[in-house]
């Protein structure tokens, strides 16, 4: 990478997003357009090795995996792209993005100075680079890709690999540079990234990060974290403060997280939803106010781009974590007023003017005089999203009178001494689940037989004791369910004990091990064993009460990969053999199927799977992910209020305590048949319902001097105002109250301006809304309105 190219790179203040392009491809144009409207310049995506090479040298770039099409879609919208090849990605993705077959190559060691691993990594990375080169997608060819990444977050764990870790980093650098693609390469979270690689920072706040060379720009990867809510004010504060202290490239993780369809989520125990509380939610809706608040920040920063990039910076310290920053260039100046104190607002005199800087905020003064933006003052609407019950195309309520069919998943694995079905292999030992399944399924059967003749085994209580590496274990003895257990509290190794009854002669013991996403992070995460690790004992007592142990760990174990229904593809549309009568409702290992009509309109579709146990669900043959609504969040740690001030942590502003971690599951419109019925597989006949995701209420509390934009979904209108007050209203959305002073005719003004419309804008000022009589520096306009679909909408659609 030449210095001339880097100088060209510095001309812009870039806003990146990391985007999961492996979502529904029909959503790509809309999502990318919304990102552009939000003020972003560059779309980032990982490249998941295990999705593109699920089996050795068998590649898939079709459908939602069409990487070239995705990059060209970005290009068609006029945006740039960053390609994070990795091929290790983390991303809470199954096995960190590595294909499991890689683990089973003899002599391989992941992410270190190992010839076998480097050979496979080079093969896949070269495949991706050549594909981009062939399509002329690199910026040096006139394409949109301006940055590429190799490896990911290796600096966090490199010390665990000793000298071989450093050698591996050097090898990665040499590999990337050998491609000569004419664009810079990035190493994320790699403080000692060798020149000319760019190093970057991961964290909630990276304003104090500086690259390891003066010739490298300052980059930031903003982790939203696996949390229910991080406030718009706090995200904006982190971004503005980053630019206050010399940042040039801001990357949001995530701007749109989407859905981990199928078995792609890792962890273990990462949910199917990867919403991330991102500016664009899981369904592609604007997450307001976060999207709008950041959009305004981007607009202000871009307006002073030339001064920020080329200007001289000077800081003025006021004490108590309050700093003014002045950028000057070409006779122009731009200023930031930052207050990192999490409790006290600051009143400062800056350049002979008095300013109030709220706690934990940054104010931006593009001309060093007038405040154009404050991270603490949100002047955009809050959209309260709701799940609207399915208005089926024929409006006959058929969606709530679902007709269910079912079929049993057999768990008897042996009959008359013979194994039923296909045995993958047999071995006198317990094997790691990854070794046997190659990652093709969550499920592996461990089957053996035990001969007993002594009365102490047949006439007394016998206990089956199993040590397992989880994540879930189901035990069966002689075709009967003996018990189940799953790992809790992050302890994925656990002991299972249950009482069983043995018969004289041969006894069948069948253990079904299930994983819920393979590990995706940490040194040597690839070697973390899953499945039944043992030891396995049968325990009873003799006549004197002494314990008698039969160790069956080294029995001959027969391995069957996957469930029968998986292998028989019960989830495919129009599969045969389903029963219509005798529907079981409280029985494990049962497949269920029903038909439903597609919801009317274009709003995103979701299905409520509350009331189920654990499993997977398919719609028209498409796997919409793992479900587990019986796994409830902890009862403690939630709050009805959320103070944006102070450093964000994963436990801050949590919601949903005591409720299912995930209740609603995204069904992309492309999975549905518009003119025909749709099939849902894998559910339970009760409590399932379909809905569209739409706006219920919109709220705002905008400061005087701003223009407030109110907007429903395109198929909705503003039908009613529940609250309107211009003055000094108190409270928050859903609980606004009026103050003693307010403009008297604000409600009438908003009704005239907005009722019956999908969107409207209101300039917040006394000139426009009337005098308030409030003796304050700034009045505010508080609004709560209802969005509804017009009564004739469905008639038009039918």
671-686 confidence digits (pLDDT tens): 998 766 788 766 566 7
Last residue of a domain, one of 538, 562, 586: 562
Inside any domain, residue 699: no
The domain that contains 719 carries what CATH number?
2.60.120.740
B/e letters for 311-323, b = 16+ CB within 10 Å, e = fewer, are: beeeeeebeeebb
Q: DSSP character for 156?
A: G
Residues 144, 269 share a domain? yes
Q: What is the pLDDT of residue 55?
A: 97
Residues 264, 319 share a domain? no
231-256 confidence digits (pLDDT tens): 999 999 999 999 999 988 888 888 99
Label residue 5 by pLDDT band (50, 70, 90). Answer: very low
The domain that contains 558 carries what CATH number?
2.60.120.260
Nearest partner of 487 among 463, 467, 510, judged by Cα? 467
SS3 category, 380: coil
Residues 63, 158 share a domain? yes
Q: What is the pLDDT of residue 392?
A: 58
Rounded CA separation 293/433 (Å): 47
Rounded CA separation 530/160 (Å): 22
pTM exceeds 0.85 for this model: yes
376-430 confidence digits (pLDDT tens): 999 999 999 999 987 654 444 444 578 889 999 998 888 877 888 999 999 999 9
- Whether residue 44 contacts residue 81, with contact meaning beta carbons closer than 8 Å, is answered with yes
Residues 555, 575 share a domain? no
Rounded CA separation 129/175 (Å): 11
Residues 28, 136 share a domain? yes
Residues 640, 747 share a domain? no
Inside any domain, residue 20: yes
132-150 confidence digits (pLDDT tens): 999 999 999 999 999 999 9
SS3 category, 452: strand
Radius of gyration of the chain measured on its C-alpha atoms: 30
Kindly list the strands in the beta sheet with 405-408, ordered across the sheet, starting from the edge strand earlier in the chain.
Answer: 405-408, 590-596, 678-681, 615-619, 622-627
Residues 654, 733 share a domain? no
Q: What is the pLDDT of residue 641?
A: 84
The domain that contains 678 carries what CATH number?
2.60.120
- Whether residue 27 contacts residue 668, with contact meaning beta carbons closer than 8 Å, is answered with yes
Q: How open is the CA angle 38-39-44, to the nearest 5 degrees?
A: 90
Domain that holds residue 584: 386-408+568-692
Inside any domain, residue 796: no
Label residue 211 by pLDDT band (50, 70, 90). Answer: low
721-765 confidence digits (pLDDT tens): 999 999 999 999 999 999 999 999 999 999 999 999 999 999 999
Handedness of CA 624, 630, 631, 637 (dihedral sign): positive
Nearest partner of 85 among 151, 143, 133, 131, judged by Cα? 151
Cα torsion 118, 123, 128, 131 to 10°: value is 150
Label residue 219 by pLDDT band (50, 70, 90). Answer: very low
Q: What is the pLDDT of residue 216?
A: 44
Label residue 215 by pLDDT band (50, 70, 90). Answer: low
Residues 503, 572 share a domain? no
The set of residues, in sequence order, having a beta carbon less than 8 Å from that of 653 and lying 6+ positions away, is: 227, 228, 229, 230, 231, 639, 642
- The pLDDT mean for the chain works out to 89
For the chain, the distance separating the N- and C-terminal CA atoms, rounded to the nearest angstrom, is 58
Burial class of residue 306 in the structure, from the number of CB atoms within 10 Å of its CB (0-12 exposed, 13-18 middle, 19+ buried):
middle
- Whether residue 513 contacts residue 446, with contact meaning beta carbons closer than 8 Å, is answered with yes
Q: Strand 605-608 to strand 664-667: parallel, antiparallel, or no bridges (unpaired)?
A: antiparallel
Residues 401, 439 share a domain? no
Does position 688 have pLDDT exceeding 80, yes or no?
Answer: yes
Rounded CA separation 760/220 (Å): 35
Rounded CA separation 495/486 (Å): 10
Inside any domain, residue 798: no
More confident residue, 173 or 196: 173
Averaged pLDDT, 262-286:
93
- Whether residue 20 contacts residue 48, with contact meaning beta carbons closer than 8 Å, is answered with no
- Whether residue 226 contacts residue 237, with contact meaning beta carbons closer than 8 Å, is answered with no
758-798 confidence digits (pLDDT tens): 999 999 999 999 999 999 889 999 999 999 998 776 555 55
Encoded tokens for 686: 């009760």
Nearest partner of 49 among 31, 63, 67, 72, judged by Cα? 67
602-644 confidence digits (pLDDT tens): 999 999 998 788 899 999 999 999 999 888 888 888 888 899 9
- Whether residue 454 contacts residue 503, with contact meaning beta carbons closer than 8 Å, is answered with no
Residues 440, 552 share a domain? yes
Rounded CA separation 345/361 (Å): 9
Encoded tokens for 517: 């996403």
Q: What is the pLDDT of residue 574?
A: 82
Encode 129-150 in three state secondary structure: HHHHHHCCCEHHHCCCEEEEEE
Burial class of residue 575 in the structure, from the number of CB atoms within 10 Å of its CB (0-12 exposed, 13-18 middle, 19+ buried):
middle
Q: Answer whether the bond into residue 196 is a cis peptide, omega within 30°.
A: yes
Rounded CA separation 194/299 (Å): 34
34 CB neighbour count, 10 Å cutoff:
18
For residue 302, the Cα-to-chain-centroid distance in whole angstroms is 28
- Whether residue 532 contacts residue 469, with contact meaning beta carbons closer than 8 Å, is answered with yes
Encoded tokens for 464: 């089956």
Nearest partner of 625 among 687, 568, 668, judged by Cα? 668
Inside any domain, residue 380: no
Q: What is the pLDDT of residue 213?
A: 55
- Whether residue 44 contacts residue 82, with contact meaning beta carbons closer than 8 Å, is answered with yes
The dihedrals phi and psi of 494, each to the nearest 5 degrees, come to -150, 165
Inside any domain, residue 8: no
The domain that contains 192 carries what CATH number?
3.20.20.80
Encoded tokens for 52: 């593109």
Does position 197 have pLDDT exceeding 70, yes or no?
Answer: yes
Does position 12 have pLDDT exceeding 70, yes or no?
Answer: no
Burial class of residue 759 in the structure, from the number of CB atoms within 10 Å of its CB (0-12 exposed, 13-18 middle, 19+ buried):
middle
The set of residues, in sequence order, having a beta carbon less than 8 Å from that of 202 and lying 6+ positions away, is: 153, 188, 189, 221, 223, 253
**Furthest-apart CA pair in the chain: how many Å?**
98
- Whether residue 184 contacts residue 6, with contact meaning beta carbons closer than 8 Å, is answered with yes
Encoded tokens for 74: 């970005």
Nearest partner of 552 among 410, 452, 416, judged by Cα? 452
Residue with tokens 């274009």: 602
Find the length of the chain: 798
Inside any domain, residue 635: yes
Last residue of a domain, one of 692, 727, 747: 692
Q: Quickly list H helices, 368-500.
A: 433-437, 455-458
Residues 192, 329 share a domain? no
Does position 483 have pLDDT exceeding 50, yes or no?
Answer: yes
Encoded tokens for 775: 């003796």
SS3 category, 609: coil
Encoded tokens for 309: 């990039």
508-552 confidence digits (pLDDT tens): 999 999 999 999 999 999 999 999 999 999 999 988 889 999 999
Q: Quickly list H helices, 135-207.
A: 162-178
Q: What is the pLDDT of residue 393?
A: 43
94-131 confidence digits (pLDDT tens): 999 999 999 999 999 999 999 999 999 999 999 999 99
Rounded CA separation 568/573 (Å): 12
Rounded CA separation 399/598 (Å): 9
Label residue 573 by pLDDT band (50, 70, 90). Answer: confident
The H or E element containing residue 236 is helix 232-244
Kindly list the strands in the beta sheet with 332-339, ordered across the sheet, starting from the edge strand earlier in the chain.
Answer: 312-319, 322-329, 332-339, 361-365, 373-374
Instruction: Please list the residues that pair with 219 across neighbouring strands.
Output: 249
Domain count, the chain: 5
Residue with tokens 């890709």: 145
Residue with tokens 């495919």: 572
Residues 262, 137 share a domain? yes
Last residue of a domain, one of 668, 692, 716: 692
- Whether residue 339 contacts residue 321, with contact meaning beta carbons closer than 8 Å, is answered with yes
- Whether residue 255 contacts residue 280, with contact meaning beta carbons closer than 8 Å, is answered with yes
Inside any domain, residue 2: no
């Amino acid at each position: 990478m030449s210095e001339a190219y880097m100088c060209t790179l510095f001309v812009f203040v870039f806003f990146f997003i990391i985007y999961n392009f492996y979502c529904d491809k029909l959503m790509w144009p809309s999502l990318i357009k919304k990102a552009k409207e939000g003020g972003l310049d560059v779309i980032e995506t990982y490249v998941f090795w295990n999705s593109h090479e699920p089996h050795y040298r068998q590649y898939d770039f079709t459908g939602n995996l069409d990487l070239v099409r995705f990059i060209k879609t970005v290009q068609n919208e006029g945006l740039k792209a960053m390609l994070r090849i990795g091929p290790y990605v983390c991303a809470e993705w199954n096995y960190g993005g590595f294909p499991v077959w890689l683990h089973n190559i003899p002599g391989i060691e992941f992410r270190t100075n190992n010839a076998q691993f480097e050979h496979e990594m080079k093969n896949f990375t070269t495949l991706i680079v050549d594909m981009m080169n062939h399509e002329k997608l690199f910026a040096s060819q006139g394409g949109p890709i301006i940055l590429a990444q190799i490896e990911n977050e290796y600096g966090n764990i490199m010390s665990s690999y000793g000298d071989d870790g450093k050698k591996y980093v050097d090898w990665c650098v040499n590999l990337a540079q050998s491609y000569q693609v004419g664009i810079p390469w990035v190493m994320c979270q790699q403080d000692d990234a060798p020149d000319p690689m760019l190093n970057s920072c991961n964290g909630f706040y990276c304003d104090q990060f500086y690259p390891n060379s003066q010739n490298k720009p300052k980059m930031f990867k903003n982790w939203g974290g696996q949390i229910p809510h991080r406030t718009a004010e706090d995200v904006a504060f982190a971004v503005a403060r980053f630019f206050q202290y010399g940042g040039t490239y801001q990357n949001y993780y995530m701007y749109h997280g989407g859905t981990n369809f199928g078995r792609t989520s890792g962890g273990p125990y990462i949910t199917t939803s990867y919403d991330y509380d991102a500016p664009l939610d899981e369904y592609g809706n604007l997450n307001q106010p976060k999207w709008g608040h950041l959009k305004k920040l981007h607009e202000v920063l871009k307006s002073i781009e030339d001064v920020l990039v080329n200007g001289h910076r000077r800081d003025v310290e006021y004490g108590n974590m309050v700093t003014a920053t002045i950028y000057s260039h070409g006779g122009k100046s731009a200023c930031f007023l930052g207050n990192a104190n999490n409790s006290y607002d600051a009143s400062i005199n800056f350049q002979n003017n008095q300013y109030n800087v709220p706690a934990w905020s940054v104010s931006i003064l593009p001309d060093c005089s007038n405040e154009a933006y404050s991270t603490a003052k949100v002047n955009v609407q809050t959209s309260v999203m709701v799940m609207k019950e399915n208005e089926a195309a024929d409006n006959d309520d058929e969606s709530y009178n679902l007709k269910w069919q079912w079929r049993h998943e057999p768990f008897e694995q042996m009959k008359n001494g013979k194994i039923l079905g296909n045995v993958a292999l047999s071995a006198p030992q317990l094997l790691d689940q990854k070794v046997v399944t190659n990652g093709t399924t969550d499920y592996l059967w461990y089957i053996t037989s035990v001969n007993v003749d002594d009365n102490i085994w047949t006439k007394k209580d016998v206990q089956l004791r199993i040590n397992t590496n989880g994540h879930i274990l189901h035990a069966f003895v002689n075709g009967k369910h003996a018990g189940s257990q799953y790992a809790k509290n992050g302890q994925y190794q656990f002991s299972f004990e249950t009482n069983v009854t043995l018969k004289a002669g041969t006894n069948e013991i069948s253990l079904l091990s299930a994983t819920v996403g393979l590990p995706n992070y940490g040194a040597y995460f690839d070697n973390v064993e899953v499945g039944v690790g043992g030891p396995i004992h049968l325990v009873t007592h003799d006549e004197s009460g002494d314990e008698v142990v039969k160790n069956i760990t080294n029995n001959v174990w027969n391995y069957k990969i996957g469930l029968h229904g998986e292998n028989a593809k019960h989830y495919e549309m129009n599969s045969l053999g389903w029963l219509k009568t005798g529907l079981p409702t409280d029985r494990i290992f049962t497949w269920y199927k029903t038909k439903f009509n597609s919801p009317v309109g274009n709003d995103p579709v979701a299905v409520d799977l509350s009331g189920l146990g654990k499993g997977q669900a398919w719609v028209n043959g498409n796997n919409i992910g793992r479900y587990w609504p019986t796994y409830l969040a902890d009862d403690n740690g939630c709050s009805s209020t959320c103070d944006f001030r102070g450093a964000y942590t994963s436990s801050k502003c949590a919601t949903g305590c005591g409720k299912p971690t995930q209740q609603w599951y995204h069904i992309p419109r492309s999975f549905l048949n518009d003119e025909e019925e749709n099939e849902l597989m894998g559910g339970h006949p009760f409590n399932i319902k379909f809905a569209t995701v739409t706006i219920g209420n919109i709220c705002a509390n905008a400061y005087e001097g701003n223009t407030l934009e109110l907007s429903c979904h395109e198929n909705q209108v503003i039908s009613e105002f529940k609250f309107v007050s211009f003055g000094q209203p108190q409270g928050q959305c859903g609980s606004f109250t009026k103050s003693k002073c307010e403009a008297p005719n604000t409600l009438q003004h908003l009704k005239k301006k907005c009722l019956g419309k999908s969107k409207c804008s209101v300039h917040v000022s006394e000139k426009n809304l009337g005098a308030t009589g409030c003796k304050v520096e700034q009045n505010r306009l508080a609004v709560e309105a209802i969005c509804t679909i017009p009564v004739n909408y469905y008639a038009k659609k039918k």
